[in-house]
Every structure is written in C-alpha cells, then in structure tokens.
Chains A and B, each alone.
Chain A
Amino acid sequence: MSNTTTDVAVCPECEGSVAVADVERGEIVQCPDCGAELEVTNTDPVTLQLAPEEEEDWGE
C-alpha cells in the first residue's frame, strides 16, 4: 500500500506540483504553492483530492 519513492502529483486546487514520499491512501499533505489540504486518494501513481472539511463530530 505505502509508496516509498518520491512522487510528484498535481494539486487539484492550483495545479501546482506536490512532491510526496512514503505516503499512503488516506494521508493528508499540504500543497506548497496554495496551501490547500490534500488527501492522497491513490498511490502508484499518487493522486490527490481536496481533503474533506472538518465536521462537527470530528476529533479525538
């Protein structure tokens, strides 16, 4: 599941390139250009989507 090589994916918000390493599906990364919170939806190749917003019943 997890990916150990460095990959470059495209930010769905600003189309900037996001370098990621050792990520797995469900992990959150931040776009270095626009700062959007992105969720890894796939590895090999790594694809990203905007991470879901925090909801009222989220937490520890």
Chain B
Amino acid sequence: MKIGVLISRIRIEEKLIIRAAEARGCEVLRINDRDLVFDLERPDFPDVEIVLDRSMVHSRAEYTLRLLESWGIPAVNSYRATITCDNKFLTNMALVENGVPTLRTMLAYTPESALQAIERLGYPVVLKPNTGSWGRLLAKINDRDAAEAVLEHKEILGSYHHSIFYIQEYVEKPGRDIRAFVVGDRVLAASYRGSEHWITNTARGGDSQPCPITPEIEQLALGSARAVGTDIAGVDLVETPDGLKVIEINVGAEFHGLIETTDLDIPGEIVDYLVQKARSGRVVEAVGS
C-alpha cells in the first residue's frame, strides 16, 4: 500500500511513523508542503491510497486537506476535523454542543467588551490566541491593569484575528495536565505533562510522566475526538476542582513524550489504523458543529 505523509519537517514522530509503515511493507511518499503547487481545477496529486497529515503548518495542512477531499483522496485527519482542532473557538463549540466538559470561555471583539467579559469571569483569567500551539502567546491576566494593557497590545500590535478576544477561566491545576493519545476509538496512551510554570506544554519544557488511562480519561478523550471528528488526536485534559476538563485537541499530535511512558507501539498503531481505513474506504462522518 502506498501512503502519503504530508510534512513540514521530519520530527522524531515522522521518522517513527515512516519506519513503522515501511516495516509493514507500505511504501511511504514524503510530501513536503513547501513543494506543493495546486491548480484548483486540475486534480493533480501523487498516486497514494491515503494521506496522513503530519504538517506542522496549520494553514497549509487545512488547504491541502480541503483539496484532497475535493479530489476524493482519503486523508487523516479530515479537513473538517483539522479546521475545528486548529481553531480554539470551533473546538470549544464542538465540545459544548456535544456535552463534553471544557473550560469556561468567553468571547468579545473590543478591548472594552473584553474587559467586561474578563471581570465577569473574575481574575485571574487566561487570554489565548484563537489559533496557536505549543503554548504560544498565552497570557495569564491577574488584575485589571494587566488586562487593559494586554488587550490594547493585542488590538494594536496583532493582526485582525488577535482582536477576537478568547478569554478562558484560569484553573489552578496540580502542576501538570494530561495528554491522551487517541487513535480511532481507542485511547492508546496518556501522560502527565508536569511543569512549575502554569503553561505545561512539553514544547516549553514540560516533562512527561506515565498517566493511567482511567475510565474518566478514556470517556473524555474519546468524547472529545468524536465531537471534533478526528481519527488520530492528542487530547489535552486538565484536572480541576470540579473534575477533568478538556483544554484542546491536537491534530498532527506529537508523541515524543508519550513514547517514554508506554510500551505500546504508537507509530505502529497509527499505520495499522491508516491501512485499515484506506482498505475499508470508510469516511468518518461529518462533525457535529
């Protein structure tokens, strides 16, 4: 079977996935997003049975997946799931509409209205860019002075989408959050990501420790994946005083931290899922939201 892997860079994850695919007798075509040139009306794409999106550049992945969908080339994850997961607001709406517990979030469009939203939530709050990853541009706002300053900076210094103010409750987490890795309808592995800093992404130095897959974690992780329509995803959860909540869901999820915490062959499971999906020609039904 010929599998296409859409990449921006070859990280540990991509090397492991490619190696697992080749070990299973699959031919892997590396498709670097920088090389792609599309003529929208003339379907022209390498002859592969399925494409796995491992691109690190969200916008490029989204546009490519939309074209693949139009040209009938199966891809994981789907265009719809990817645009949902790459956008915190769309993710949040999908979770809310599917009854999956997530962090209380408010939305406003001007510094003045955003300040009202913040004061309604009560300090501290967290301001997040609607699209962003690896813990980038997160701001913990402890008081009104900081709120006024950061809101003004975002409006003036940021591009237009920074004036969609995405304001989230701050959760006193126990110095860690949880990454659960979901493939199909199974939670393969979970890990705690610990850090002294309130931002616990491993991309910012958070370390990974094994985390038991409790029934609650499984239910929340699978519920989240179903809500946003992903096949393969890294679901981020946080332990809060009133139970586990979902922070976000990542497509093209990294698992370098997770590998050390499980003896399960995550790359192998990913490839097996791809092969099975390509063969069955099943298309994951459309997303709720």
Please report A residues at the B interface, Cβ cutoff 8 Å: 1, 24-28, 39, 51, 55-60
Residue from the list A27, A28, A51, A60 in contact with B133, Cβ < 8 A: A60
Central interface residue in B56, B203, B252, by most chain A CB within 10 Å: B56
Please give, as numbers and ranges, the residues of chain B lying within 8 Å of A26 by CB-CB distance.
Answer: 7-10, 30, 32
What is the minimal beta-carbon distance from B153 to any residue of chain A, in angstroms?
15
A46 CA / B10 CA spacing, docked (Å): 15
Whether B252 contacts A60 by the Cβ 8 Å rule is yes
Contact A28:B9 (CB < 8 A) given known A56-B136, A57-B57, A60-B250: yes
Number of chain B residues close to chain A: CB under 8 A: 26
A18 CA / B169 CA spacing, docked (Å): 46
Please give, as numbers and ranges, the residues of chain A lying within 8 Å of B250 by CB-CB distance.
Answer: 59-60
Please, could you name 30 A-B residue pairs with CB atoms under 8 Å apart, sorted by A? A24-B10, A24-B30, A25-B10, A26-B8, A26-B9, A26-B10, A26-B32, A27-B10, A27-B15, A28-B9, A28-B10, A28-B11, A39-B9, A56-B129, A57-B57, A57-B131, A58-B56, A58-B57, A59-B56, A59-B58, A59-B132, A59-B134, A60-B56, A60-B133, A60-B134, A60-B234, A60-B250, A60-B251, A60-B252, A60-B254
**B253 sits at the interface (CB 8 A):** yes
Contact A56:B132 (CB < 8 A) given known A1-B30, A26-B30, A26-B32: yes
A28 CA / B250 CA spacing, docked (Å): 22
A57 CA / B16 CA spacing, docked (Å): 24
Contact A59:B133 (CB < 8 A) given known A1-B30, A26-B30, A26-B32: yes
Interface residues of B in 56-75 (CB under 8 A from A): 56-59
What is the minimal beta-carbon distance from B257 to any residue of chain A, in angstroms?
11
A57 CA / B56 CA spacing, docked (Å): 8
Top 4 A-B pairs ranked by shortest CB distance? A59-B133, A60-B250, A27-B10, A26-B10
Please give, as numbers and ranges, the residues of chain B lying within 8 Å of A24 by CB-CB distance.
Answer: 10, 15, 30
Central interface residue in A1, A39, A58, by most chain B CB within 10 Å: A58
B223-265 vs A, CB cutoff 8 Å, 1 = contact: the mask equals 0000000000010000000000000001111100000000000
Central interface residue in A1, A24, A56, A60, by most chain B CB within 10 Å: A60
Judged by DSSP, the binding face of A is loop
Please give, as numbers and ranges, the residues of chain B lying within 8 Å of A27 by CB-CB distance.
Answer: 9-10, 15
Please give, as numbers and ranges, the residues of chain B lying within 8 Å of A55 by CB-CB distance.
Answer: 57
What residue of chain A has the Cβ atom nearest to residue B61's Cβ? A57
Central interface residue in A56, A57, A59, by most chain B CB within 10 Å: A59
A1 CA / B57 CA spacing, docked (Å): 23
Whether A57 contacts B58 by the Cβ 8 Å rule is yes
A56 CA / B56 CA spacing, docked (Å): 11
A57 CA / B11 CA spacing, docked (Å): 17
What residue of chain A has the Cβ atom nearest to residue B201's Cβ? A60
A44 CA / B183 CA spacing, docked (Å): 36
A56 CA / B254 CA spacing, docked (Å): 18
